[in-house]
Amino acid sequence: MTLPNIPFQPLGGKYFWETLTYSNGWELQKNKLTLHYRILDPANIRESWSVDEEQIWHAFRALTNQQNKSNSGRSRENT
């Protein structure tokens, strides 16, 4: 289960976070100490977090697929 989220810009901590994957500016990261996960959007705002790896991967795929669909719609509008 993803947990309630207040979108905010992280305070740093690059030493504590490992990027698991990167897609179109979105990052899925795992905290090396607490072992929880977070998703950062292209503006470096935390959009989701969870302690459940399966759920966070599902959320990451949903967020990145949503962005891909909106980008493809914009490119069609510009043609």
Render pLDDT for 13-54 as a digit per residue (tens, 0 to 9). Answer: 778 999 999 999 999 999 999 999 999 999 999 999 999 999
Average pLDDT for residues 60-72, to the nearest whole number? Answer: 82
Contact 28, 44 (CB under 8 A): no
Residue from 47, 38, 45, 42 nearest 9 by CA: 45
The answer to whether 64 and 23 are in contact (CB under 8 A) is: yes
Name the more confident of 34 and 7: 34
Residues 6+ positions from 59 with CB-CB distance below 8 Å:
2, 39, 48, 50
Query: Could you tell me the pLDDT band of residue 79, with boundaries at 50, 70 and 90?
Result: very low
Q: Does position 74 have pLDDT exceeding 70, yes or no?
A: no
Residue 48 sits at φ, ψ, to 5 deg, of: -160, 155
